[in-house]
Amino acid sequence: MRTVAGIDLGTQSMKVVIYDYEKKEIIETASCPMELISDSDGTREQTTEWFDKGLEVCFGKLSADNKKTIEAIGVSGQQHGFVPLDANGKALYNIKLWCDTATVEECKIITDAAGGEKAVVDALGNLMLTGFTAPKILWLKRNKPEAFANLKYVMLPHDYLNWKLTGDYVMEYGDASGTALFDSKNRCWSKKICDIIDPKLLGLLPKLIEPSAPAGKVNAAAAKAYGIPEGIPVAAGGGDNMMGAVGTGTVADGFLTMSMGTSGTLYGYSDKPIADPANGLSGFCSSTGGWLPLLCTMNCTVATEFIRGLFKLDIKELNEEAAKAPCGSEGVLVIPFFNGERTPNLPNGRASITGLTSANTNRANIVRAGFESAVFAMRGGLDAFRKLGFKPKEIRLIGGGSKSALWRQIAADVMNLPIRVPLLDEAAALGGAVQGLWCLKNQNGKCDIAELCKEHIKIDESKSANPIAENVAAYDKAYEEYTKVVKTLSPLYQ
């Protein structure tokens, strides 16, 4: 048996999979929940101790015999989080996460100092948003000056796990492009933005490596702690969206992946830089050597979970209730900004239910509107892709939303594209494993990642959904109303 392992560090949990690359199947998985520090000011944080514990628990659950067969490891991690370490590798403060919106002031300071939004986009290919890493670093400097004074290592969550496994301090282009410190077009750190935050920052950032290169090799300490072979390569890894692209086969032009989890993301592979930050399309690099234009919303299954809790429904009951309502929920709309919002850029945004009348106010309409709101938020990203000349063929759907037949059909109808679901679950962890295999094969000659994904990423045809013309027409009208309401409400939160 020959295997590779994939690690996925998400907001809610850490998962490890062992993938038999000869039989093309996941043979074992393990997971560990992650806690969250949350405050009304937008704070969303975790700690390095929780990440450390996650590695110990997950690898501890896997069989010793299976772990001995691992030949390479690839790591996927939630994007943008700032892991600040001192010279001894000790955390100086909590990890501010992608969903932390407490850095509105820092975004403004950096943007103004750079010369405005256009100047920031020219430097980075992206706007300065609260989700990104750069404002979190400035927040540490302004709010925890003693911690900032001792800052030695600037890591993202997946880089921290790479460092725990190898002891090497590096970062690849994909995750780096989500820091708002990185020039995505030219694939280098932006001295201009770094110097605005602090003159010493550029000198603290890690060495940049190609996504096909190893981050390092499993060191003796990690081998002993986790029961894995010493000396095996650890791939460059990447952000969860970049690894999700690998795990769904979105490594060639024309394919889009839509992830419906806590947050919602829509991204596609491109051989050239593509970005439209004004319309929410971030100009990221992929973790396979190209670019990965991406739209991210901060509220996806969040909306349905809150509504499910409100009506005290289980998952099955939630889907059954939503199915009772027609497409468009008879005019009921959920504006799902429960965590503020990134697209549109409304960190102080609030959720609401609107469009209610004496005729349409019922549980089924409200529940279905929650389902629809998550996909409406993605539709704007699809429109932005098309305006830039991207010609989508189909959408690969992953995340919790992909498990619902109703949600898959809503997505097909709202987006007016075929929906396909990968056969193997855990796209980000599988993407990490496949990138680990790519890294392994590259040690013995050149390996093409697109061909590798064709071989290892299969579609579950039983979960496919195709657009229905009548539903598409109904959702075009509902989406138009949704965008009108969002535009009307937006000034309240700016």
Q: How far apart are CA 72 and CA 234, in angstroms?
A: 6
Terminal CA-to-CA distance of the chain, rounded, Å? 56
Beta strands in 355-436 (DSSP E): 394-398, 419-420
Residue 448 has pLDDT above 80, yes or no: yes
* pLDDT of 119 above 90: yes
Q: What is the DSSP letter of 126?
A: S
pLDDT tens-digit map of 55-67: 999 999 999 999 9
pLDDT at residue 274 in the model:
86
pLDDT at 76 (0 to 100):
98
Q: Which residues pair with 170 in a beta bridge?
A: 207
Binned at pLDDT 50, 70 and 90, residue 426 comes out as confident
Question: Residue 390: its pLDDT value, please?
Answer: 87
Q: What angle do CA 267, 439, 204 make, to 5 degrees?
A: 75
Confidence of residue 32 (pLDDT cuts 50, 70, 90): very high
| Rounded distance between C-alpha atoms, residue 37 and residue 97, angstroms | 10
Q: pLDDT tens, 301-358?
A: 999 999 999 999 999 999 999 999 999 999 999 999 998 998 898 999 999 999 999 9
Per-residue pLDDT at 153 exceeds 90: yes
Contact call for residues 319 and 406 (beta carbons, < 8 A): yes
Q: Residue 261: which pLDDT band, with cuts at 50, 70 and 90?
A: confident
Q: 332: which DSSP letter? A: -
Beta carbons within 10 angstroms of residue 104's beta carbon:
18
Residue of 343, 488, 476, 425 lying closest to 15 (CA atoms): 425
Give start and end residues of each alpha helix (H) in 314-404. 315-323, 363-387
* pLDDT at residue number 117: 96
Tell me the mean pLDDT in the region 29-34. 97
pLDDT beyond 90 at 205:
yes
Just list the catalytic residues. Answer: 240
Tokens read off for 438? 């790519």
187-196 pLDDT per residue, tens: 999 999 999 9
Confidence at residue 5, expressed as pLDDT on a 0 to 100 scale:
98
Give the pLDDT confidence of 208-247 residue by residue, as tens digits: 999 999 999 999 999 999 999 999 999 999 999 999 999 9
Q: How far is CA 46 from the centre of its chain?
A: 16
Chain segment 374-423, per-residue pLDDT in tens: 999 899 889 989 988 888 989 999 988 999 999 999 999 999 999 999 99
Predicted local distance difference test score (pLDDT) of residue 255:
83
8 Å CB contact between 370 and 307: yes
- Look-up of token digits 């404002």: 135
pTM, to two decimals: 0.89
Query: Model confidence at 451, in pLDDT bands (50, 70, 90)?
Result: very high
- Say whether pLDDT at 278 is over 90: no
Mean confidence (pLDDT) of the chain: 96
pLDDT range class, residue 252, cuts 50, 70, 90: confident
User: What's the average model confidence in pLDDT over 260-275?
Assistant: 90
pLDDT for residue 253 is more than 80:
no
Task: Give dist(CA 376, CA 89) in Å, integer.
Answer: 43
Average of pLDDT values for 245-274?
Answer: 90
| pLDDT at residue 263 is higher than 90 | no
Closest CA to 370 of 354, 385, 383, 357: 354
Q: Quick: pLDDT tens for 76-118.
A: 999 999 999 999 999 999 999 999 999 999 999 999 999 999 9
Contact 107, 137 (CB under 8 A): no
Confidence grade of residue 34 (pLDDT, cut at 50, 70, 90): very high
